[in-house]
Amino acid sequence: FLFLDKYISSQAIQDQLNKKVLDSLAEFIKKHGLGCSSDVWRQRASEIPTAALMLGVNVPDHAMTFRSLCNLLQDSVTPFVVSVHAKECAAVKLLIQKVLEQLMGRGVSVDEEQEDDTALLQRTQCTISALCQLQDCYQGNANNVACLKLKSGYNHGLKILNIFYFINSRYTQELPFIFIFGIATSPSAIQHRLPHSVSSLLCIEVFHSLSCTQHLASVFDKLILKSQFPFKLSSRVIQVLVGIFLYHDFSVQNFVKGLQFSMLEHFNSQPLSVLCCQKQEALLSAKTLSKQNVERIRHLPSFMRYVETQEPQEQVQLLTNDEHVKEVCQKLLKNLHKYHKNYYPILQCLHSLTSSLPKFPLGKHIRELHVSCIEKNLWETEEYDSALQLLRILAKDELVAALRKCAEILKSASTKRMQNVLQQLEDFIGRLEALEEGSSGNGIISGKMEYQRTDLFQLQKTLLEKESRRTKRMNPFEVLRSQVMEFIDSLVREYLTPAELQPLNEVCYYSSSGVLRQRLNVTPRTSIQAALSHPFYYLQNESLKTDTGTISSAAPDLCIVFKLHLECGRLINLYDWLEAYVTVMSAAEDQDTDSEELYKFARFIQAVSEMEFLGFVKSTKQKTDHVARLTWGGC
């Protein structure tokens, strides 16, 4: 579990993603804290320097971003940083109290008559004058500028903040505050949430952070598309995590938590995950595998497929000789690590070639291409054929530029095979640049164009004839371009094979997408149905244990009524429902008295009302003594 700290720390990743914008904010604070603002902004004496930080709609990540900002400012700019949420501001005095508490690093006494505790401020001391006196104490240090970070979202709190802004505009010399707004949508939110009389007092500069999709792409580059990171995700697991990100919360923090959960679940559920580590550590672990783990390797689907491809004598050794299995396991682990080292550079090259093609046949983002590659043979898809057709009509300068990008990617690859690929690419680039300008045309037959009215069929026939004549007489550039495309196609077929075809892929790849979806994307309806169908797993009461298809009379009334309604059709007869409920309740009891029957009737009515409240049934006008069922299927 050292991977969790080394590779996927949420705070560290968030800091790296926001480093540029946070550094820009720090420079903004330094500039205005040193009194340089008049040369740049020409602001009026009553205007307050304000930074509007555009964070996007990934609300769960905002708190972490502002914690990082506060830490950065306290470490590199000024110790006087105040973080206030609008909903914490019930009154101006309370807001000033929050500011004083954070600036002075001590609390405020609730008991205004307390006089012996000098470490606490009295609430009556929480005034603008107290803030001015505090600033006078640190006036000698020009860098000690208090920075106020405000996150709006509470209407009453906004009114209090408006008053606070207005008061501070009258004390710009005594209280050199600098405001930092956190905004989720657009800078116009400031004008919409603050009246003009207040917004005109703020001299605002806008700072933009990366969009949520850019954050996601950065996380993929740092964690998932790296051969140094031994833990891998299957295509379905990636689709679950990306789906939650794009359609639920846009939160990088939650995406990283999902990745962390996947890793913990993999190491917990897969005993052979002891081999999911760096290459040398994995080889050492393979040498010391226990007999039980050797048997687990023999039962892996990928290893069984590998055994089937071997000679009969080798198959016998693999199925009977444990030491031989350990030796073969070491060889297969080496091949798996080589596969990843060669896979990712070629994947990045292919994405670089196809990401700018019209309509993005292989996807706009590299994660889409990655998912396609690890779940199926990419070269057998129509999208791949479409991408190759578009690449085959690139002009010379476009093709050279694309190949140069691929060469830059391959320069960072460490394997000999990738270095050989790089040499071949550079050879193609040199041959393309050496072509004369006249031989690098597009190969279209020139001639006098006859303009005449024609139908679509005739036009298509003419274009096909010109295409056939063009392919018959290819110029040197077209011949070389065709060779380049064949070379790229051979790389895809050799290095971008699906991960599930690699022996021992189960050691590194986590593929339980159903478990992940159940844990991270639980729907309230599913949880409620599970609780009502199986109350024992939630209440842990032994009397609630039942055989399949039976109903315990000890279960809560709501659970009994719920299970009975699952046996009904679209319309449920209330009398029949009540009779079934009474039958279940009376199974372990003697004959009921009238009072007991009336009590059960009242409990039944209450349980039905709860069912209606939960959305399982509703009253209907078709039959007055019936209710309509709203859900289908059980857990």
Please tell me the predicted confidence (pLDDT) of residue 437: 56
Residues 300 and 392 in one domain: yes
Find the mean pLDDT for residues 598-607.
Answer: 88
Residues 62 and 400: their CA atoms lie apart, in Å, by: 43
Please tell me the predicted confidence (pLDDT) of residue 66: 80
Residues 220 and 204 in one domain: no
Residue 118 lies in a domain: no
Share of the chain above pLDDT 90, in %: 30
Domain boundary among 507, 536, 570: 507
The more confident residue out of 21 and 61 is 21
The more confident residue out of 141 and 23 is 23
Residue 553 lies in a domain: yes
Residue 120 lies in a domain: no
Please tell me the predicted confidence (pLDDT) of residue 39: 43
Residues 332 and 425 in one domain: yes
Residue 423 lies in a domain: yes
* Mean pLDDT for the chain overall: 79
Please tell me the predicted confidence (pLDDT) of residue 439: 53
Q: Is the distance from CB of 407 to CB of 426 less than 8 angstroms? A: yes
Please tell me the predicted confidence (pLDDT) of residue 459: 61
The DSSP output letter for 123 is: G
Please tell me the predicted confidence (pLDDT) of residue 46: 64
CATH code at position 143: 3.40.50.300
**DSSP bridge pairs for 50:** 179, 204
Residues 83 and 225 in one domain: no
**Residue 292 backbone dihedrals phi, psi, to 5 degrees:** -65, -40
Whole domain around residue 614: which residue ranges?
A: 524-629
Q: How many CA atoms lie within 13 A of 469 on its CB side?
A: 9
The more confident residue out of 150 and 260 is 260
Find the mean pLDDT for residues 364-377.
Answer: 92
Residues 23 and 101 in one domain: yes
Residue 588 lies in a domain: yes
The more confident residue out of 260 and 66 is 260
Residues near 277 by beta carbon (within 8 Å), at least 6 away in sequence: 230, 285
Q: Is the distance from CB of 233 to CB of 509 less than 8 angstroms? A: yes
Question: For the chain, how many residues are written?
Answer: 635
pLDDT tens digits, 390-432? 999 888 899 999 999 999 999 988 889 999 999 999 999 999 8
Q: Encoding tokens for residue 178?
A: 């600098």
pLDDT band at 488 (very low <50, low <70, confident <90, very high): very high
Asked whether residue 295 carries a pLDDT value surpassing 60, the answer given is yes
- Look up residue 5 and give its amino acid: D
The more confident residue out of 287 and 599 is 287
CATH code at position 562: 1.10.10
Residues 407 and 424 in one domain: yes
Residues 409 and 332 in one domain: yes
Q: Is the distance from CB of 628 to CB of 570 less than 8 angstroms? A: yes
Residue 512 lies in a domain: no
Domain boundary among 162, 186, 210: 210
Residues 191 and 60 in one domain: yes
Residues 407 and 444 in one domain: yes
Residues 520 and 241: their CA atoms lie apart, in Å, by: 9
pLDDT tens digits, 516-567? 887 887 667 777 888 888 888 777 777 777 776 677 788 888 988 998 888 8
Residue 608 lies in a domain: yes
Find the mean pLDDT for residues 452-473.
Answer: 61
Residue 601 lies in a domain: yes
Residues 58 and 74: their CA atoms lie apart, in Å, by: 25
Find the mean pLDDT for residues 365-379.
Answer: 92
Find the mean pLDDT for residues 614-631.
Answer: 85
Residues 228 and 361 in one domain: yes
pLDDT band at 369 (very low <50, low <70, confident <90, very high): very high
- Look up residue 86 and give its amino acid: A
Find the mean pLDDT for residues 243-253.
Answer: 82
pLDDT tens digits, 493-518? 999 999 989 999 999 999 998 888 87
Q: Encoding tokens for residue 581?
A: 């409920």
Please tell me the predicted confidence (pLDDT) of residue 137: 62
Burial class (CB in 10 A: 0-12, 13-18, 19+), 38: exposed
Domain boundary among 481, 507, 533: 507
- The tally of domains found in the chain comes to 3
Asked whether residue 42 carries a pLDDT value surpassing 70, the answer given is no
Residues 280 and 409 in one domain: yes
Please tell me the predicted confidence (pLDDT) of residue 254: 84
Residues 178 and 252 in one domain: no
The more confident residue out of 623 and 417 is 417
